[in-house]
Each structure stands twice: as structure tokens, then as C-alpha cells.
Amino acid sequence: MGTVLTQLFPVKIRYSAIALSANLAGVVAGFMPALAATILVATGGGSTGPAILLFVIAVISLVSSIIARIMIRRDDAQGVDQISGDLLNRK
């Protein structure tokens, strides 16, 4: 994750962006056990509800990974410097 996150953000905002991302992920992940318990009670104790929740989280992770990879490849194709975030070979 560290490599992917450093490639997504230019140096000027990298530290703040990664910190914000990590903290927001922590907030969202902190509510998941309560949400899973609520779904479990709402479905009458069946495991189908929490399983669907886990599946949705997995799909979100997959889609996010694909989008991140597309963004990194786009920056590589446009010649964006991974260190500074600036375009390479400016004239």
C-alpha cells in the first residue's frame, strides 16, 4: 500500500494525503463491526447479510485498486515525475 499511495500523490501533498487517507480508512473501518452486527440482527442471525457486506467491501477494494493502477499508468504515460508531480521535459 505504501508504494501505491506514494505514486498517487505528488511530494507537495503526499504526507498530508496519505495521512488523511489512513485516518479516513480507520474511521470507516471502525464502523464495520457495528454495521455487521446490525445487519446480522436485521437478517435474523443469518450469515448471509454479513457475508454480503464482506463481499461489498472486497468489490470496493478491487475497484479502488484498478482505478489507482489506471491513474498511475496515466501519469507514467503523460510523463509525470513521481517525485515532484511535475511534467517531465518541460520547455
The DSSP secondary structure of the chain, one letter per residue, reads -HHHHHHHS-HHHHHHHHHHHHHHHHHHHHHHHHHHHHHHHHTTT-SHHHHHHHHHHHHHHHHHHHHHHHHHHHHHHHTB-TTT-PBSS--
The HSE-up count of residue 8 (CA atoms within 13 Å, CB side) is 18
| pLDDT the model gives residue 38 | 94
pLDDT at residue 56 in the model: 95
* pLDDT given for residue 39 in this prediction: 94
Dump pLDDT digits (tens) for 18-68: 999 999 999 999 999 999 999 999 999 988 999 999 999 999 999 999 998
Contact criterion met (CB below 8 Å) for 39 and 31: no
